[in-house]
Amino acid sequence: MRGLDSTSQVLYSSGMIRGKERQRTVRMKSSRLWRKKARCPATSQPINAQPQQMEMEAGTSTPKTPVVDLSALLEQTVFGDEEETESREGPTGMDTAATEQWRDAIPEDGYAVEESPPISIEQFFEMTGIGFVELTAPRRSLHPSQISSQKPRNPTEASLAECANVMAIELPQLVLYSRVCQDIEERIQKSKADFEQMEDEAAKMTPELFLEYSGADQESQKELVQCLNLIRKNTRLRARSDWYDWKLEWIEDLKHTAENAFTNLQNDARSLEKIKAKADEIVPQLQQEYDEIMRELEAEKVEVAQIEECDQDYLNELKNTIAEQNVEVESLRAEVKEADDQLHWLEERLENIAEQKREATAGIAEANRALHLQTNSTGAEVFRLKNELKALEDLHMFHVSKVQSDTFEYIYASEYHVIIPCRDYYPVTKEIDILRLPEMRTKSKDSFPRLTSFLLSAAKEHVRRSKASTVRHIVQVLADFWSSGKQLRNQILQLSFKYPVEIEARQTPEKPFSEFAARTMILFPAKKAKAYVSFVFDSDTFSRWPLSVNSLRWEVQIGYGSINEQSVVEAISERMSEVSPSHTYACMIDACIEVQEACG
């Protein structure tokens, strides 16, 4: 593969060496000839033949431009001793005449170039006897006797170790061999193309080395052949070194692949050892079970053989008897199952009766205790019951103050006094009255007196519309109403922390105490504007707050300034759309803050 690539290198190196030697030889011979002609100008050979003679002596086939070595003339001149020079070489005019005669002999258009026959690279190799490695030569490292003549085996006969060896070692070698062969083929094709290109170039213009060799004498040809042999040997050794380096890379890759495969095999071996250890623990037990089963099988085979030797008619009769007995056994099993079901039902019935007995016993004991208290109660028991009653009243914020057939009165949360007129303990809802305790007016300041008055009147109207038929129902309705009012008051109180709030009652004769509005004022200092926002609560909204938060309405009125009313409404709607019955904390003040940030 390196043979064709090194051809151009050999030709180039040899041409450079021989070109330099030729120039040096031409100069030396031209100098000697010029000295000879300078000393003997009257020679029989004409001066105009000197260039041709110099070129022929130099061993070239083409004439060159004559070279005049002035050192040959100058070294003969010695300043201060002109007489000695004239006596040795003759008159000075003779040297000048010879020089002018030689110069005039050169033609104006130069010497004609002699054309030599073209020499190809193959012809040059035949002339010099130099050859390179033949790329198509068969491999000599493999003898035909070494080729295996075994027939291919059946794949099922290959052992696991052979398969592992093939996958880890031989298969990577085959893959590498295929890749290397492909690479070598590509390089061979490239080298052939380069060689053909060099052949074409040599056919167009014969290299100077070929001309030098063809025109040189035998001694020069031997020197040139020796130089070419040294270059060829150097090139071959370099190619072999590159080949060994390349082959070393292949071996390193194969070694790395084999080491990885060996590591994987070691890991597999360790895993198999663990599996084998587990199998060794299980196999003896399985072997013991297998032996036991085989012994039972042998015993059953013996029994079967004995049965086959018995009277078959008698055996058939026994089989029929056994079948009849099996039918009777199945019927008995059905009866037993039915009896078990009946027993289970009776046990459940017994448990129910026992539970009823326990409940009856507990009821009798409670009745006896109540009877005992009625007949033999003491002051301690009375005080204990009063304390329990007071704890229950505090827990439910419900304190009964009067219970009669015509009146039921109680105090809720130590703040409201509820009077329910009755007729034989049945409430008259139209005459119900709710008052605020007088001490609450002086105990704490009411932040929203209008709201308090409105809610008291609305509570009466709410009870009338609820159509409650019992005192318990009325108490429950009012408890829910006041719980909603308490949370609603907290919302309005939070709004008043940042913005002024005014309560406006809105009602009609047809619908008294139907709704109210919490009106607040929002300032926009940057735009020098003011807007009024009213949150409107109808009867369903303030009686069921916060479950009715989605029914809350709002109204916007621009006081002054360049504020868009629609922008304010959209800001409030965006904030209130995020509110749910479980997330209503400070929703009104958040909506006002959103308006101030969006429009201010």
Q: Stretch 535-541: mean pLDDT, rounded?
A: 90
* 138 preceded by a cis bond (ω within 30 of 0): no
Whether 192 and 274 have beta carbons less than 8 Å apart is answered as no
Measured CA to CA, the distance from residue 492 to residue 536 in angstroms comes to 12
pLDDT of res. 332: 93
Q: Stretch 466-486: mean pLDDT, rounded?
A: 87
pLDDT of res. 225: 85
The CATH class, in words, for 469-599 is alpha beta
pLDDT of res. 306: 84
Q: At what angle do helices 208-215 and 2-39 cross, to 10 degrees?
A: 60
How sure is the predictor about 99, in pLDDT bands with cuts at 50, 70 and 90? low
Residue 20 has pLDDT above 80, yes or no: no
pLDDT of res. 534: 92
Residues 59-85 as b or e (16 or more Cβ within 10 Å = b): bbeebbebeebeebeeeeeeeeeeeee
Measured CA to CA, the distance from residue 229 to residue 475 in angstroms comes to 127
Which carries the bigger pLDDT value, residue 424 or residue 389? Answer: 424
Measured CA to CA, the distance from residue 531 to residue 206 in angstroms comes to 106
pLDDT of res. 338: 93
Q: List pLDDT tens digits, range 236-253.
A: 899 889 889 988 988 888
Tally DSSP H helices, then E strands, for the chain.
Answer: 18, 9
Query: To the nearest whole percent, how much of the chain has pLDDT over 90?
Result: 18
Residue 153 burial (C-beta neighbours within 10 Å; 0-12, 13-18, 19+): exposed
Residue 54 has pLDDT above 50, yes or no: no
Q: Stretch 94-118: mean pLDDT, rounded?
A: 57
Which carries the bigger pLDDT value, residue 329 or residue 68? Answer: 329
Residues 169-206 as b or e (16 or more Cβ within 10 Å = b): eeebeeeeeeeeeeeeeeeeeebeeebeebeeebeeeb
Q: Stretch 77-104: mean pLDDT, rounded?
A: 46
Q: Stretch 550-573: mean pLDDT, rounded?
A: 90
Query: To the nearest whole percent, how much of the chain has pLDDT over 70?
Result: 76
pLDDT of res. 133: 53
pLDDT of res. 145: 54
Task: Report the relative pairing of strands 407-412 and 433-436 from DSSP bridges.
Answer: unpaired
Residues in the chain: 600
Mean pLDDT of the chain: 77
pLDDT of res. 66: 35
Kindly report the CA angle at 238 between 234 and 243, in degrees rounded to 5?
Answer: 145
Task: Find the range with the poorest average confidence among 93-107, 280-294, 413-427.
Answer: 93-107
How sure is the predictor about 59, in pLDDT bands with cuts at 50, 70 and 90? very low
How sure is the predictor about 212, in pLDDT bands with cuts at 50, 70 and 90? confident
Residue 434 has pLDDT above 80, yes or no: yes
| Tokens matching residue 207 | 């290299």
Give CB contacts under 8 A, 24+ apart, made by 175-182. Answer: 176/250, 176/253, 176/254, 180/250
Which carries the bigger pLDDT value, residue 426 or residue 141? Answer: 426
489: number of Cβ within 10 Å = 18
Measured CA to CA, the distance from residue 389 to residue 383 in angstroms comes to 10
Residue 102 burial (C-beta neighbours within 10 Å; 0-12, 13-18, 19+): buried
Q: Stretch 504-532: mean pLDDT, rounded?
A: 86
Q: List pLDDT tens digits, range 446-471.
A: 788 888 888 888 888 888 888 888 88
DSSP 114: P
Residue 42 has pLDDT above 60, yes or no: no
Residue 444 has pLDDT above 90, yes or no: no
Task: Find the range with the poorest average confidence among 128-142, 175-189, 336-350, 564-578.
Answer: 128-142
Residue linked to tokens 């058939």:
316
Q: List pLDDT tens digits, range 254-280.
A: 888 889 988 988 998 899 898 988 888
Residue 41 has pLDDT above 50, yes or no: no
How sure is the predictor about 157, in pLDDT bands with cuts at 50, 70 and 90? confident
Q: At what angle do helices 565-576 and 587-599 cross, to 10 degrees?
A: 140
Domain boundaries, the chain: 1-134+163-278, 469-599
Measured CA to CA, the distance from residue 14 to residue 233 in angstroms comes to 14
Q: List pLDDT tens digits, range 290-302.
A: 999 999 999 999 9
pLDDT of res. 139: 52
pLDDT of res. 348: 93
